[in-house]
Structure 1
Amino acid sequence: MTKQINIVSTKKLLPNQKQLLLDRDFVVIEEDFIATKIKNFELSKINDNLIFTSQNAVQSVLQNPNCSELKSKNVFCIGLKTKKLLAENGFNVIAYTGYAADLAEIISLIYNKESYTFFSGNLRRDILPNTLKENGIAFNEIEVYETSITSKKVTSKVDGILFFSPSAVESYLKLNTIKNEFCFCIGDTTAETLEKNNINNIIIAEKPSVENVLEAVIYYF
């Protein structure tokens, strides 16, 4: 890079993740634009299979005193890191995908005679539960964590912004505008939220992971 490139990450990166950018002389500004909080919930009326769409939901369920009762169930989840977290804690993951739409399709086509309990957050997207309903698949939903918006004003000149969720896009836009900055997104639903706000300088990571977002930044600049 011949000029200083300023990057804003809408969540705090792990030290090794941030170092990938620092090693290439990026200036990195990082703030948590959303916050998550575990909720108290009852593990009642649990169906034969479990659905997790985030690591936050897994972390919440792991803290429930009756969590061990769930480990005999088969699990469907979104995200490789979510799958790893489940497997490390003794859950049997039989299917995982990068996106909710793909998971909904697998369940609807192959596992549609089964029943499910979906562990969700308060700002979850509608695509998975709506697809299950449309296909007459038995499921219930337990809200196990809350996401809240924690907007920050960015005063520095910015060349690129890293977004890891639709909620982070909404949070960023509360106090900031996006003009010519390039937006690097972890996945399609995050990119769609930007598009709905008439923002077009969007680059989507090849795979939905933080590391792939960082690779996209490095490759682009």
Structure 2
Amino acid sequence: MIRVLSTKRLEPNQRQYLLNGGISVLAADFIDVSYIPFDINQTKENLIFTSRNGFLGFLANKMSGVYTGSNVFCVGSVTATLIERYGFNVIASADDGKALSEIIVGEHTDKSFTFFSGSLRRDILPDAMKAAGIDFNEMRVYETVLTPHKITAPLDGILFYSPSGIESYLKENSITDEVCFCIGNTTAAVLKGISDRVIIATKPSIENVIVQVRNYYK
């Protein structure tokens, strides 16, 4: 039987979907998150979130409700749905930070933004906004903690959902001929020079990563 590792614990229905395709699943959380206090009074007109954790870190501030209804720019359709569920107005969402920066720089240079980020965020989005002279500030709202695990079972595939997940995996393991399934281009880029067996999800969601696994091994 095909065996894959998910570097994030899966919901029962997600695991069952793989099992129904004849795929055995190992799963462990290779990263953890802790929220960081921040001064929410410095928040500007428009909010930027490039991950679900960024939005949850924002909500962890007890004053976040004051900003309900604010305009939001974000990465990922799943994150966008979550943000809208809490009463915020998603103006634009994109598949990755680069695509989101292109939307902001191309169509919204007259607006002001606050980017709610994590400790391991990439430079692509803030660098693009600085270069375009956009009024923005950044607030660190969560810290990513690597929680590596040694995997001894032979694997056919590995599911990665973030660059930090890859970093954590490689602290205790190596990648040889396993197929790497990545949630997006930013995550896949970390594997350059490490593996050429990379499958990228067509949408940045855990569900679509799982779909790619099923499609690959069917």
Q: Tell me the TM-score range normalised by the shorter chain.
A: over 0.9
Partner of 1:207: 203
Aligned residues: 217
Residue deviations 1:30-85, cap 9 Å, x none? Answer: 01011111111120221111101111111122221111221242111111111111
Other structure's SS at 2:5 match: strand
Other structure's SS at 1:113 match: coil
Alpha-carbon separation, structure 1, partners of 2:39 and 2:20: 46
1:1-221 matches, cutoff 5 A: 4-195=1-192, 197-221=193-217
Alpha-carbon separation, structure 2, partners of 1:165 and 1:17: 18
Other structure's SS at 1:29 match: strand
1:180 maps to a residue whose letter is: D
Shift of 1:22: 1.0
Shift of 1:140: 0.3
Residue deviations 1:87-125, cap 9 Å, x none? Answer: 111111111111111110111011001110010100011
Shift of 1:217: 0.7
Is 60-69 or 210-219 further displaced after alignment?
Answer: 60-69
Alpha-carbon separation, structure 2, partners of 1:72 and 1:159: 45
Is 99-108 or 56-65 further displaced after alignment?
Answer: 56-65
Q: Quick check: 2:181–2:201 contact (8 Å CA) kept in 1? A: yes
Alpha-carbon separation, structure 2, partners of 1:103 and 1:24: 34
Q: Quick check: 2:4–2:156 contact (8 Å CA) kept in 1? A: yes
Residue deviations 1:135-176, cap 9 Å, x none? Answer: 111100011111011010000010000000000111111111
Q: Quick check: 2:69–2:87 contact (8 Å CA) kept in 1? A: no
Other structure's SS at 1:44 match: helix
Structure 1's unaligned 5+ residue stretches are: none
Shift of 1:198: 2.5
**Do the aligned partners of residues 107 and 177 (structure 1) sit closer, same or farther apart at CA in structure 2, a change above 3 Å counting?**
same
**Identity over aligned pairs, percent:** 48
Please give the TM-score of this superposition, normalised by the length of structure 2.
Answer: 0.97
Please give the TM-score of this superposition, normalised by the length of structure 1.
Answer: 0.95
Alpha-carbon separation, structure 1, partners of 2:186 and 2:42: 30
